Amino acid sequence: MPLSARIGSHKQKSFRQKFVDLNWFIVFIIVCVASVGFAMLYSVAGGSIDPWAKNQLIRFLIGLAAMIFIALIDIRVWMFLAYPLYALSLSMLVVVDIMGTIGKGSQRWINLGFMNLQPSEFMKIALVLALARYFHCLSDEDTLKLKSLIKPLILIALPAVLVLRQPDLGTTLLIVMGGIAMFFVAGVRMWLFIVSFVAMIPAAFGAWQFLKPYQKQRVLTFLDPETDPLGAGYHIIQSKIALGSGGVYGKGFIQGTQSQLNFLPEKHTDFIFTVIAEEFGLIGGLTLLTLYFILLGYAMIMSMSVKNQFGRLLVVGMVITFFLYMFINIAMVMGLVPVVGVPLPLVSYGGSAMLTLLVGFGFILSTAIHKDTSIPRGGAFA
């Protein structure tokens, strides 16, 4: 018996049919968002595709191909691979951790010779997959039991601790918050969240002790940037100046004085939203937010008509990851949250995050294509 026949309780779509069913409007919006990135990278290079825009375009095309490939693969295959992928990601994190210990310093990636592999990025995807599978297989009654939460908490805690040790506070937050959001939509009792939130307060004080001095400084500077205008607060102050001076309509393409004259730091990576807001004003910023809103809104609405819990949780996990990237980055450049080094999704220069997000959207699109596939609680291959 062929594999497809054995795992499917639903009629199989042909590969060609799946390709047609792919939501090309969403793909188009994704291209739009990425194009905003290309334009801004062209701008911050003073009107040149080098050194950033060209590289970014190549990476995007690779990521886009990966996204479409993932979207076309049967969702049950992904469910089947969820735990193995998690195990692989976790072991890579361990490798990085050991290398970091030996190398006596911060280490976030494995050099494969042709590219740098960043396991923490993989882990964001793998954790969502693993948690989605875990909750998919949980019965309604078990979902309400406390002891059912031990395993998923461990699933979250292991990578969180490893990433925090790198140390990468931004990614740790993304992993933990993404995981908690999945608990929430999976139906874990509401009061648990309230109790946990209250318990967080003393935990935050405890966590403070673990922060590196530069991380502490970032938080302190965030609370009052003006106290250190030439040091750590400089980035936030200059970013706010750029944003504010952009006004409603902006200063024009390649006309942002703060970015073009280099007053703005990290303008091609973490602070690229500032460049958009400076050169295209409030209108530019709102336009980008709208594009993001379309992407995430589509995913959330679509997820409510998915006929399997795995797919639904997968979508929420990816949406939350995407949303947190976006929210933290934009809030950070506007001085609402500390500078934690989170890129703007699909826009900031950088390969790893872009790949993660496109792969994530690949899973969302895959869920959409296979939304009518129902999967038994025991699993596709049980």
Partner 1 sequence: MQPSDKNKLKMYTRRASLLSGGMMLLSSALVGRMYYLQVISRSQYELLAEQNRISMRLLAPKRGDIVDRNGHPMATSTTDYRVNVIPEETEELQDTLKSLGKFIPISASDNDRIVKASKKQRSFLPISVANNLDWKTFSNINVNMPDLPGIQPDVGTSRLYPEKELAAHIIGYVGPVSEEELTGDPLLELPEFKIGKNGIEKVLDEKLRGSAGNSKVEVNVLGRVIRELSRQDSIPGKTERLTIDLDLQKYVANRVRDESTGIVVMDVHNGEILAIVSTPSFDPNDFNNGISQKKWDSLRGDIRKPLINKAVSGQYSPGSTFKTVVALAALEAGIITEEDTKFCNSQYRIGNRIAHCWKRGGHGRINVVQALAQSCDVFFYDLAIEVGIDRIHEMSARFGLGERFNIGIMSEARGINPNNEWKMGAQGVKWQLGDTANVGIGQGFVSTTPLQLAVMTSRLVNGGIAVRPKIYFDDEDDGITIPGDMGISSKNLKIVDQGMSDVFNHPRGTAYAHRSRKKDYKIGGKTGTTQVTRISMAERQSGVIQNEDKEWIERDHALFIGYGPVEAPKYAVSVLVEHGGGGSSVASPIACDILEYMLDRDLAKQNELNGGQDV
Give the range of 126-134, 150-158, 211-219, 261-269 binding partner 1 by CB under 8 A: 261-269
Among the listed residues 224, 304, 378, 382, the single contact to partner 1 using CB under 8 A: 304
367 binds partner 1 (CB under 8 A): no
137 binds partner 1 (CB under 8 A): no
DSSP reduced 3-state for 344: coil
Could you report how far apart the first and last alpha carbons of the chain are, in Å? 16
293 binds partner 1 (CB under 8 A): yes
Contact 127, 314 (CB under 8 A): no
231 binds partner 1 (CB under 8 A): no
Min separation Cβ 138 and partner 1, Å: 9
240 binds partner 1 (CB under 8 A): yes
Min separation Cβ 307 and partner 1, Å: 6
Q: DSSP states of 25-49 as a string?
A: HHHHHHHHHHHHHHHHHHHHTTS-S
140 binds partner 1 (CB under 8 A): yes
Report the residue number, 166 or 309, with the smaller CB distance to partner 1. Answer: 309
Give the range of 218-226, 282-290, 338-346, 363-371 binding partner 1 by CB under 8 A: 282-290
Report the residue number, 115 or 289, with the smaller CB distance to partner 1. Answer: 289
Kindly identify the residues of this chain, within the stretch 27-56, that bind partner 1 according to CB under 8 A.
none
Contact 299, 117 (CB under 8 A): no
Among the listed residues 117, 211, 241, 294, the single contact to partner 1 using CB under 8 A: 241
230 binds partner 1 (CB under 8 A): no
Listed residue (375, 339, 333, 328) closest to 178, CA to CA: 328
Among the listed residues 43, 56, 215, 258, the single contact to partner 1 using CB under 8 A: 258
Contact 285, 361 (CB under 8 A): no
Query: Residue 298 to residues 48, 76, 290, 293: CA-CA distances in angstroms?
Result: 34, 22, 12, 8
Burial 20-58 (b: 16+ CB within 10 A, else e): ebbbeebbebbeebbebbbbbbbbbbeeeeeebbeebbe
Dihedrals φ, ψ of 203, to 5°?
-65, -35
Distance CA 23, CA 42 (A): 29
User: What is the total count of residues that contact partner 1 (CB under 8 A)?
Assistant: 51
Report the residue number, 156 or 181, with the smaller CB distance to partner 1. Answer: 181
DSSP reduced 3-state for 167: coil
Contact 22, 291 (CB under 8 A): no
Distance CA 239, CA 57 (A): 26
Token pair 């290079």 is found at: 45
Min separation Cβ 271 and partner 1, Å: 13
376 binds partner 1 (CB under 8 A): yes
Give the range of 101-109, 154-162, 170-178, 299-307 binding partner 1 by CB under 8 A: 299-307
272 binds partner 1 (CB under 8 A): no
Distance CA 378, CA 372 (A): 18
Q: DSSP states of 229-298 as a string?
A: TTTTTHHHHHHHHHHHHHTTT-S-TT--HHHHTT-STTTTTTTHHHHHHHHHHHHHHHHHHHHHHHHHHH
Among the listed residues 67, 185, 346, 353, the single contact to partner 1 using CB under 8 A: 185
247 binds partner 1 (CB under 8 A): yes
286 binds partner 1 (CB under 8 A): yes
Among the listed residues 303, 366, 367, 373, the single contact to partner 1 using CB under 8 A: 303
Give the range of 90-98, 196-204, 245-253, 354-362 binding partner 1 by CB under 8 A: 245-253
257 binds partner 1 (CB under 8 A): yes
In the complex, the residues that contact partner 1 under the rule CB under 8 A are 139-140, 181, 184-187, 238, 240-248, 257-258, 261-263, 277, 281-282, 285-286, 289, 293, 296-297, 300, 303-304, 307-309, 312-313, 316, 320, 323, 327, 330-331, 334-336, 374, 376-377
